[in-house]
Amino acid sequence: MDLPADKRAAYRALVDAVLGGRGTATAEQRTRAFENTETDPALRPLLEKVATAPSRITDADFDRARAAGSSEDHLFEVVIAAAVGQSTRMYESALAALDEATAG
């Protein structure tokens, strides 16, 4: 199932801004958070929860990441990248399932 061009453009702009925009986290750090791969061990527990159990994130998760040296801005950027990445994977899986279900 193809997205209309304007929705594809909006999605691409979002991902480009999250991954390549200015910030305190490097583009590589944001990309790793987006892809849910090889993130900083100090951030791993928090970012894993973003991807798999966001309702279980607590202040203590952020406190541990800050105690390991992450700033508020850095945490914001990698958490958003992780959330957008997980949303992307879920959305693409849903579109693939819909395509499969409606294939002639």
pLDDT in tens, 39-95: 889 999 999 999 999 999 999 999 999 999 999 999 999 999 999 999 999 988 988
Q: What is the rounded end-to-end Cα distance, in angstroms, of the chain? A: 13
Whether residue 1 has pLDDT greater than 60? no
Q: Domain containing 66: what range?
A: 5-102
Compute how many other C-beta atoms are within 10 angstroms of the C-beta atom of residue 78. Answer: 28
pTM of the model: 0.87
pLDDT at 7: 83
Predicted local confidence at residue 43, as pLDDT: 94
| CA–CA gap between residue 65 and residue 97 (Å, rounded) | 36
The three state secondary structure string of the chain is: CCCCHHHHHHHHHHHHHHHHCCCCCCHHHHHHHHHCCCCCCCCHHHHHHHHHCHHHCCHHHHHHHHHCCCCHHHHHHHHHHHHHHHHHHHHHHHHHHHHHHHCC
- The residue count for the chain: 104
**Residue 5: is its pLDDT beyond 90?**
no
What is the number of structural domains in the chain? 1
The one-letter code for the residue type at 55 is: S
Residue 8 vs residue 45, higher pLDDT: 45
pLDDT for residue 46: 95
- Predicted pLDDT at 11: 87
Given a contact cutoff of 8 angstroms between Cβ atoms, the answer to whether 91 and 10 are in contact is: no
Q: Mean per-residue pLDDT for 21-38?
A: 94
Q: For residue 25, what pLDDT is reported?
A: 95
